[in-house]
Amino acid sequence: MKNLLLITFVLLFSSFSINSFSQSKNKFGHINSSLLIGLMPERDAAEKALAQEAKSMEEELDRMKQELNKKYQEYLLKKDSLSTFVKQAKESELQDLQNRIETFQSTAQQQLQQKEQDLLKPIIDKYKKAITDVAKENGYTYIFDVGQGSSVLYFSEESKDIMPLVKAKLNIK
């Protein structure tokens, strides 16, 4: 029984020693990826391309709305002189045009979101690679993103901000 107690004590003590030793080897860092992506020059080009795409879609939407307004004004002017069949055809045409506008708006919004994702993916891949490289080169065990919407609620001063290292890796001043 004494031997069993001694063995348990030794195993328990060595377990604590190993855990303490392994925990002391961990190196933690943090970075604000939202801030980093805002500093990357590629982000400006992506924003310009996205703005250009949005402007093009907005111009098309405005053209469609002007067409609807013009046809609606024409309909209002002639409404009383139209036969029931022609009146129904004009109303149907106006409703179809309104539906096309709504569909266009919805599709344009989805396409803009997809375009933004497509433009940001290479930028995100680039900064993730830089973070990984910096972490490996500097012996970090964990890097936490403390940017907007992060799940890190606390990080101690022992955690090192690796932003300067990643900016250097990406040649950002």
Cα separation, 56 vs 43, in Å, equals 20
3-class DSSP assignment, residue 170: coil
Does 127 map to a domain? yes
Give the pLDDT score at 17: 46
List of residues 6+ apart from 145 with CB closer than 8 A: 30, 31, 32, 33, 152
Nearest residue to 97 (alpha-carbon basis) of 57, 58, 63, 55? 63
Does 14 map to a domain? no
Number of domains in the chain: 1
Does 19 map to a domain? no
Give the pLDDT score at 2: 45
- Global pTM reads 0.67
Give the pLDDT score at 173: 83
Cα separation, 64 vs 103, in Å, equals 12
Does 120 map to a domain? yes
pLDDT per residue rounded down to tens, the chain (173 residues): 444 433 444 444 445 444 444 455 788 888 998 899 999 999 999 999 999 999 999 999 999 999 999 999 999 999 999 999 999 999 999 999 999 999 999 999 999 999 999 999 999 999 999 998 998 899 888 888 888 777 664 566 677 888 898 889 898 98
- Where do the H-state alpha helices sit in 40-162? 41-78, 84-137
Strand-pairing partners, residue 31, are 145
What CATH number is associated with residue 55?
3.30.910
Residue with tokens 């328990």: 12
Does 92 map to a domain? yes
Give the pLDDT score at 126: 93
Does 61 map to a domain? yes
List of residues 6+ apart from 65 with CB closer than 8 A: 101
Domain extent, residue 125, equals 28-35+42-169
- In Å, the largest CA–CA distance within the chain is 110
Does 17 map to a domain? no
Does 65 map to a domain? yes
3-class DSSP assignment, residue 134: helix
